[in-house]
Amino acid sequence: MSLHQLSATQIVKGLKSGELTAHQVTQSQLDRINRLNPEINAIVATNEKPDNDMFGSLAGLPITLKDQIHLKGMTCTFGSEQHKDFRPTRTAPVVERLLSAGAHVIGRTNLPPFAMDFQCSNPLFGTTNNPWNIDYTTGGSSGGGAAAVAAGLSFLDIGTDLSGSLRIPASFCGVFSLLPTENALPNDGMMANGAAPLRHFARMGPIARTPEDLDLAWAHMSEPTGEAEKEFVMPDAFWSVDSAGIEVCDGIRQCFENAAKEWRKSGFQVSQGQPKHFDFSRARRAFGEIMGFETGELIPASVRFLARLFGRSSARRSPAFIANVMLGYRHNQKRYDDALAEKAVLSEAVDAFLGENGIWLLPVTAVSAFKHMAPTSDRSGIRDYANPLFINGQPVNYFDAMTSFVTPISLTGHPVVTLPLGQDKNGLPIGAQLIGKKGQERHLIQTAKFLYDVLKKADCPMFTRA
């Protein structure tokens, strides 16, 4: 096998045993980046010099960072001309943990300006292409990281997720991601201009090619709990593809049905279901109110007013996402407090549904990966898409198609592993959100490994691709 075909876990094993050297692995990755990145455009900067002594438990493993996450001294642009020369004076705490374990940040990965789109392009570095078909989007905003991992340009990428930014690219590129439990990791070191981190939703997490690599990343990103590792117990599993009136493409529905069939054949019991008292529309509304209020605090009131004024047509087209964010832009404290109370209620509904040992499978998006789509307007990275996407022949708003399944889970704060399920009719990957109990990331990753192994044995082309 070529080095790029090995998993991060295998690379670390080789480094520790002495079968591989850090220089050898780094040079192999840089050579591959030089060959393939001009077409895929996932890596926007490289760093050949190690950041540390590389003698820790990760032994010199090369990783990449989304071009939003602070690394002291290395340019961090946020995909914006405004920050093209910004060099952080501090490293994000999560990255510090990885560096302390011996990781080497080999490069930065692309994103839309300020991570504010569900596709991956910006005026500084251009568009990142999906390695499965370069005519198609990677999703966003962590699209550069997902593409880099899928193409073997990176063994492990650290991205961010506010409203699907890890999950959407992982699904579209056929790789895994972990969205940790809200507040499980420090989230400072991902904002521009030294702004304080958002109080809710924004989380860092890894993108990887295997569940074992997610586990490797999580073990070094999270703080040791001191608790003994629990024996894996097969969870109660439920899946659903209905989301309060949002159309879901037939390919996604078929993938869920096929996967559930294979899991049942293996002896794993999975049935259709969702929390009894969980309302997706209420969840999207509360998410928008909170997100709009908190992101609105970063901009002047006059700018918020103009955003609402000029965003009226976009809000009408996007009742499930933009309209709710615009409500938050009003900066009404009572509405914000009510939304936080709603967040608690809906989170408890998911807790009750999951019980002691449950998981819930949901689509990531209502549409599978689509061809690159230009915004109809772009005001310094704030983009609008007046043209719809089409799902089963029906027009669906771009923002609503992309967010209807992810923002409700962003709201509740539960951990999510994005799990590849199969392919659509165009041969593009389709993934699922695997949602678990708060604080149980390891168990969720173990479950993902079991489910993935079952699908690999089912001889699906998705899981036999070189």
Cα–Cα distance measured from residue 259 to residue 243, given in angstroms and rounded to the nearest whole number: 19
Judged against a pLDDT cut of 90, whether residue 151 lies above it is answered with yes
Maximal C-alpha separation, the chain = 61
Q: For residues 408 and 385, what is the distance between their CA atoms, to the nearest angstrom?
A: 22
pLDDT at position 305: 79
Output the six-digit token pair for 187: 């989230």
Burial of 320 (0-12, 13-18, 19+ CB in 10 A): buried
User: What backbone phi and psi angles, to 5 degrees, belong to 461?
Assistant: -55, -30
Render pLDDT for 324-367 as a digit per residue (tens, 0 to 9). Answer: 999 999 999 999 999 999 999 999 999 999 999 999 999 999 99
* Interval 408-428: pLDDT, tens: 999 999 999 999 999 999 999
C-beta atoms surrounding 226 within 10 Å: 5
Give 370-394 pLDDT, tens digit per residue.
999 999 999 888 899 999 999 999 9
CA distance 347 to 237: 18
- 245: which DSSP letter? T
E strand intervals along 368-415: 377-379, 382-384, 389-391, 394-396
Instruction: Name the pLDDT band for 193 (thresholds 50, 70, 90).
Output: confident
Q: Please, which pLDDT band fits residue 162 given cuts at 50, 70 and 90? A: very high
% of residues, the chain, pLDDT over 70: 96
Query: Are the CB atoms for 185 and 94 separated by under 8 Å?
Result: yes
Query: Side chain identity at 269, as an amino acid letter?
Result: Q
pLDDT on residue 50: 65
Quote the percentage of the chain above a pLDDT of 90: 86
Q: Which pLDDT band, with edges at 50, 70 and 90, does 245 fall under?
A: confident
Residue closest to 32 by CA, chosen among 62, 52, 59, 65? 62
The backbone region for 78, taken as left when phi is positive above 0, alpha when psi lies in -120 to 50, beta otherwise, is left
> Residue type at 228?
A
The count of residues in the chain is: 466
Per-residue confidence band for 204, with pLDDT thresholds at 50, 70 and 90: very high
Structure tokens at 105: 């940040």
Question: Does residue 161 sit in helix, strand or coil?
Answer: strand
- The pairing of beta strand 270-272 with beta strand 236-239: parallel
E strand spans, 232-381 = 236-239, 270-272, 358-363, 377-379
Cis peptide before 141 (omega within 30 of 0): yes
pLDDT band, very low/low/confident/very high, at 51 (cuts 50, 70, 90): low
Q: Which two tokens stand for residue 154?
A: 């990176």
Average pLDDT along the chain: 93
CA distance 88 to 74: 7
